[in-house]
C-alpha cells in the first residue's frame, strides 16, 4: 500500500512538473499549440480591443498573421501580412527578440478623444517586457489623423529596441530604402498645408 501511494505521489509530482513544460513546448514548436494560445487571448484587454486572424506557422520556426487589429478610444491600428520569427532564448529574460520581421501594410488612424483619459498606466502590455526588433521591413504605412492630416510611407526598413511602456531606447531607419509621403495637415481654421515628396 505504501509503495502504491509513493508511486502515485511521484506520478502526480511528475505530471505537475511536466504538464507546463509540454504546454510551453507545444505553444512554441507546434502550429496547433500556437492556435490554442491565440484562441485563448482575450479580445478585450482593459480599454483595448484586439483581433487576430489568419495565424499560421510556429513561434520557433517562423509564423505569419494575415491581420491584426487593435482598437482603442484614440487610435485604431490595422496590420496585414505580418511575418516574423521570435528568438526563444531571450524569452527567458523577458525579452521578445525578432531577428527579422515583415509587415505588408500598416494603417494607423488617430481618433478624437471623446472623454478625458483615465489616470493610471496602460495595462495592454506588461511594463517589464523588452522588445527588440533587429530588422523590420514595412511595405506601406499610412497615418490618418482626425484633424485631416494624412501621411504615407513606402518600403521602409529599420530596427527598434525598448520596453513595452516606454519610448524606444533605440530606433534607426535605412535611408537607402525607397519611400514616399504625402499629407495635408490642418494648421488652423481655413488653413492647410500639403506635403508630397519621394526619395
In tens, the pLDDT along 73-86 reads 889 999 999 998 88
Q: Which of the four pLDDT bands, split at 50, 70 and 90, describes residue 106?
A: very high
**Residue 82: its pLDDT value, please?**
93
- Cβ contacts of 118 within 8 Å, gap of 6 or more: 47
Q: Which of the four pLDDT bands, split at 50, 70 and 90, describes residue 11?
A: confident
pLDDT at 169 over 60: no
Q: Which of the four pLDDT bands, split at 50, 70 and 90, describes residue 140?
A: very high
**Residue 33: its pLDDT value, please?**
84
**Residue 37: its pLDDT value, please?**
83
pTM higher than 0.85: no
Return the SS3 of 142: strand
Q: Which of the four pLDDT bands, split at 50, 70 and 90, describes residue 191?
A: very low
Between residues 43 and 9, which one has the greater pLDDT? 43
Q: Are 37 and 26 in contact (CB under 8 A)?
A: no
Residues across the chain: 199
- Average pLDDT of the segment spanning 130-140: 86
d(CA 15, CA 170): 43
pLDDT at 93 over 60: yes
Between residues 107 and 129, which one has the greater pLDDT? 107
Taking CA 184 as the corner, what is the angle to CA 183 and CA 187, rounded to the nearest 5 degrees? 135
**What residue ranges do the domains of the chain occupy?**
1-40, 43-198
Return the SS3 of 15: helix
**Residue 108: its pLDDT value, please?**
93
- Average pLDDT of the segment spanning 20-28: 78
**Residue 166: its pLDDT value, please?**
56
**Residue 125: its pLDDT value, please?**
64
- Average pLDDT of the segment spanning 86-110: 85
- Average pLDDT of the segment spanning 183-195: 39
Amino acid at each position: 500500500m505504501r509503495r502504491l501511494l509513493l508511486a502515485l505521489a511521484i506520478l502526480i509530482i511528475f505530471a505537475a512538473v511536466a504538464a507546463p513544460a509540454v504546454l510551453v513546448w507545444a505553444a512554441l514548436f507546434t502550429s496547433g499549440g500556437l492556435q490554442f494560445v491565440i484562441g485563448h487571448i482575450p479580445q478585450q484587454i482593459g480599454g483595448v480591443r484586439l483581433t487576430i486572424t489568419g495565424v499560421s506557422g510556429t513561434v520557433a520556426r517562423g509564423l505569419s498573421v494575415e491581420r491584426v487589429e487593435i482598437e482603442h478610444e484614440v487610435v485604431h491600428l490595422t496590420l496585414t501580412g505580418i511575418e516574423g520569427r521570435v528568438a526563444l532564448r531571450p524569452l527567458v529574460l523577458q525579452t521578445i527578440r525578432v531577428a527579422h520581421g515583415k509587415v505588408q501594410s500598416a494603417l494607423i488612424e488617430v481618433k478624437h478623444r471623446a472623454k478625458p483619459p483615465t489616470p493610471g498606466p496602460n495595462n495592454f502590455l506588461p511594463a517589464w517586457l523588452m522588445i527588440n526588433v533587429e530588422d523590420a521591413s514595412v511595405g506601406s504605412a499610412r497615418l490618418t489623423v482626425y484633424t485631416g492630416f494624412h501621411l504615407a510611407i513606402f518600403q521602409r526598413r529599420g530596427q527598434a529596441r525598448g520596453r513595452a511602456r516606454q519610448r524606444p531606447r533605440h530606433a534607426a531607419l535605412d535611408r537607402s530604402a525607397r519611400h514616399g509621403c504625402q499629407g495635408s495637415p490642418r494648421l488652423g481654421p481655413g488653413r492647410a498645408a500639403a506635403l508630397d515628396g519621394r526619395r
